[in-house]
Every structure is written in structure tokens, then in C-alpha cells.
Amino acid sequence: MSVRKWRRIHVLFFVAVVLLMGESAFAQGPPINTETALLAGFTNAFRTFDQEIDRSGDLPGGVRGDLHVRAVPMIFPYAITQGKLVIAGVIPYFNKKLDLHRPAGTTRLEENGFGDLRLLAEYAYYIKDEKEKTTRAMVIGGFDLPTGSHGDHNLPPGLWNGSGATNYLIGTAFSYIPARWGFYTDLIYRITTEGSGFEFGDTLRYDLAVGYRPWPAIYEIYPSPQVNLFLELNGFWEQRSRDFRPPGSGNKVPDSGGNTIFLSPGIQWVPTGRAFLVEASVQIPTVENLNGEQLETDAQFNIGLRWLVF
């Protein structure tokens, strides 16, 4: 990763921390990149964040690529039964820029627009509340609808905003929160199908997060101003894709799929009134085993907010 890109991420993270320390807060917030089984607090909160992704490396055919993705997901959860059953809609907006460097010069490919609509349901099947601690477990199910642009043969499938297919998700999450600490983990598997002559590989998301509330040490009133710190391991495994162009081939794409694990420190601030929080996280790739020649992740940065609508 270039010095310029690292400097930009460090400056953005520093600015986010300064902004987060300038307000006043609520109760223990959910982890930033890991699912939580605690379906309370910010359940009915609109959530959005700006995710900046930089990738670079060698591609097949002796081409070098630099990819920048700006993703802005918009998440709308709603509690059917408070603390037990939540449904949610998620739709992202993308800006993707891929520079392909060849000896004859550089070509830029670009795509903008909304991605696939995801509909989710989360159900807490285990709840155990004790003095100053709680244990929760939930199941997750949902599907993606092919609302994003896809099938443009002038663009590589990785630059499409959508998959062109209906995909299905199933998973689970577990949370244990004793006093000022929080321990979270999840497993979410996505089953993909073919669309526009291409089938992206199935994926497995696996996360582990530890949260700590450095301030306040003890609540004098509740809700009360609060800062949360998080350290997460965020894993993403993807199967090889299949290409059905020309129709009927269905060959596996050798330069696709693999496994990446991020180390993700983050900070969260929940302003007074228990209706708003701001959060920021840097995701640093610590393990990246990709199949064939693919762009490798340099770093990812997230800064976002959650706003309790009702």
C-alpha cells in the first residue's frame, strides 16, 4: 500500500476520533463490523456508513490494477417483537473505479449506482439476563434481490453493482456482555445462484469482536454519556465463481475466491438522548489467501452513524 493511501487513512481515522470525542452519550453500543445478538437499544435505528476500500496488484495477462470502492450501505431495521424479532432492509450505493495499467497506457473502468436489495430477519432464540450481564444468541435468515446493475460485458463481474441473481443467507450470532465488556461472534453463509451468465461464489462471513467501555466506569444515571472501544477479527471466505458465458460452460474462474481476515480496531460514541451514535473503524488485512491472480486488499476504513428513528 502506498504511503499516500496510508497517510489518508490515518488522517481520516484521527479526524473521526476527534469528532467522536466532541459530544456527550447513551448505553453499550453494538459492535461495528460484527453482528450482535442483543436486539435492543438501536434496533429501530437507521444506520449508514462510508466504507472506503483500496485494492491493488497483478491481474491475468500482465496487467496491474488499482481499485477504489466507496460503498455506502443504508440499513433500515425494525423490531417486530422488541428484543426478540427484527426485520431489516439493506441497500448499498457504490462508486467503483478500476485503473488497469498496461505498457500502452492506463484504462479506467467505472461504475456507480445502487446494489442489490437485502432483506433480513433476526430472531433471538436464547436470552439470559443476570445482574450486570446478559447472554444472547440469535439466528439470521434472508435473501438478496437482483436490483443492482449487472450483466455489462464491458465490465468485469467484480465491478457490477449487483449479482443479477437471487441469493440466500443463513447464519447465527452470539453475544455475552458482562458489565463494561462485550464479547460477540457470528457465522453467516451466503448461497449464490447464477445470473447474467455468471455465478459469484458462495461466501462465509465469520467475525469475533471484543468491546470495552472505558468511560464511564460506572453509570450514575442511565442512559448516560459513553465511549466504547472495539477490537475485531473479521473473516471473509469466498468460493470460486463460475462463468456460464458462453451458455452452458459453467467453468470455474481460476482467479477468484479465497480467504481474507481483517484486524479491525474501532471507536464508538453515543450522544446524549440515546438516539444517536457515531463510530469509526480501520480494517487491516492480516491474512489474505486468494486463488490465482487477484487484487489484494490494502486497507478498509469505515465511518458511520446510527440514528434511532422511533
Instruction: Please give the pLDDT value at position 222.
Output: 63
CA-CA distance, 198 to 244, in Å (whole number)?
6
Question: Which residues 6+ apart lie within 8 Å of 204 measured at CB?
Answer: 187, 188, 189, 190, 235, 236, 237, 238
CA distance 91 to 31: 20
**Would you state the pLDDT for residue 42?**
61
Give residue 308's pLDDT.
77
Q: What residues does each domain of the chain span? A: 3-308
Residues 6 or more apart whose CB falls under 8 angstroms from that of 32 comprise 209, 230, 232, 264, 266, 268, 279, 280, 281, 302
The per-residue DSSP string of 64-127 comes to: EEEEEEEEEEEEEEEEEETTTEEEEEEEEEEEEEEEEEETTEEEEEEEEEE--EEEEEEEEEEE
Question: Which pLDDT value is given to residue 28?
Answer: 62
Task: Give the pLDDT score at 276.
Answer: 83
| CA pair distance 114, 136, nearest whole angstrom | 33
- Give the rounded distance of the alpha carbon of 256 from its chain centre: 20
Angle at 244 between CA 241 and CA 247, to 5 degrees: 175
Q: How confident is the model at residue 245, as a pLDDT?
A: 87
Cβ within 8 Å of residue 69, ≥6 positions away: 51, 52, 53, 55, 94, 95, 96, 97
Element (H, E) at 7: helix 3-20
Q: How far is CA 30 from the centre of its chain?
A: 14
pLDDT at residue 172 in the model: 98
Asked if residue 236 lies in contact with residue 202, where contact means CB atoms within 8 angstroms, the answer is no
Considering only the top CATH level, what class is 3-308?
A: mainly beta
Q: Give residue 15's pLDDT.
A: 37
C-alpha cell at 141: 435468515
Walk along the chain (310 residues) and give the pLDDT tens digit of each residue: 544 444 444 434 433 333 333 333 334 678 999 999 988 666 678 999 999 999 999 999 999 999 999 999 999 999 999 889 999 999 999 999 999 999 999 999 999 999 999 999 999 999 999 998 999 999 999 999 999 999 998 999 999 999 999 999 999 999 999 999 999 999 999 999 999 999 999 999 999 999 999 998 887 666 677 899 999 999 999 999 999 988 778 899 999 999 999 999 999 998 865 678 999 999 999 999 999 999 999 989 999 998 876 5
Distance separating alpha carbons of residues 284 and 298, to the nearest angstrom: 8
227 vs 237: CA distance, rounded Å = 32
In this prediction the pTM is: 0.88
Give pLDDT, residue 148.
97
pLDDT of 13: 41
Asked, as a colleague might, if the bond just before 157 is cis with ω within 30 of 0, I would say no
**Neighbour-count burial of 255, counting CB atoms closer than 10 A to its CB (0-12 exposed, 13-18 middle, 19+ buried):** middle
Q: What is the DSSP letter of 31?
A: P
Specify whether the backbone of 83 is left (phi greater than 0), alpha (psi in -120 to 50) or beta: left
Q: How far is CA 8 from CA 12, 13, 14, 298, in A?
A: 6, 9, 10, 12
CA count, 13 A, side-chain hemisphere, 273: 10
